[in-house]
Amino acid sequence: MDSNRILEHPILEFNEGDDLPFSFDGRELMGKTGDTVASALHAAGVHVLGHHFKTGRPRGFYCAIGNCSSCLMIVNGVPNVRVCVEPLQAGMVVCSQDDRGILP
């Protein structure tokens, strides 16, 4: 599942980190401490984070540092969360977002 994790690197060392279970659209996935929601999803092979509210085209992240709002998802019921800068927490319920979002 974590085939996208970098295990060997000439300069950096990535700590193993604790496993953090979370769900994505009902699927049980596993991330690591230090992950954002987006990095955990990407590591698990999830690239489509939602669909455009008008065109229905798939959306992924673009900037990964909280600028561009391409990665908006519903996290624990709250829509429009920029998952590229949202720290992953154990038990998070993450859902892809296909509309403008309704605030709880």
Partner 1 sequence: MISVPLLIIGAGPAGLCAAYRAAEAGVDVLILERAQKLGGQLVKQTHKFFGSEKQFASTRGIEIAKILTDRLEGLPGRVELQTDATVLGFYEDGVVTAEVRGKFMKYHPECCIVATGASEKTLAFAGNDLPGVYGAGAVQTLMNEYGVRPGNRVLMIGAGNIGLIVSYQLLQAGVKVAAVLDAADEIGGYLVHASKIRRAGVPILTRHTVERAYGDERVEHAIIHALDDEWRKIPGSEQQFDVDVICVAVGLSPLTDLLWQAGVDMKYIGALGGYVPLRDADMMTSVKGLYIAGDVAGIEEASSAMVEGEIAGIAAALRLGFITEKNEILKKDCLNQLRQLRAGPGSEKIRTGMALAGAYV
Residues that bind partner 1 (CB under 8 A): 4-6, 8-12, 14, 34-36, 39, 42-43, 47-49, 52, 57-68, 84-85, 87
First to last CA, the chain: 32
> Which of 9/26 has CB closer to partner 1?
9
> Which of 6/103 has CB closer to partner 1?
6
Q: How far is the CB of 91 from partner 1 (least distance, A)?
A: 19
| Alpha-carbon 4 to chain mean position | 14
Q: How far is the CB of 6 from partner 1 (least distance, A)?
A: 5
Which residues, at least 6 apart from 71, have a Cβ–Cβ distance to it below 8 Å?
38, 49, 59, 60, 61, 62, 64, 82, 83, 84
> Which of 13/28 has CB closer to partner 1?
13
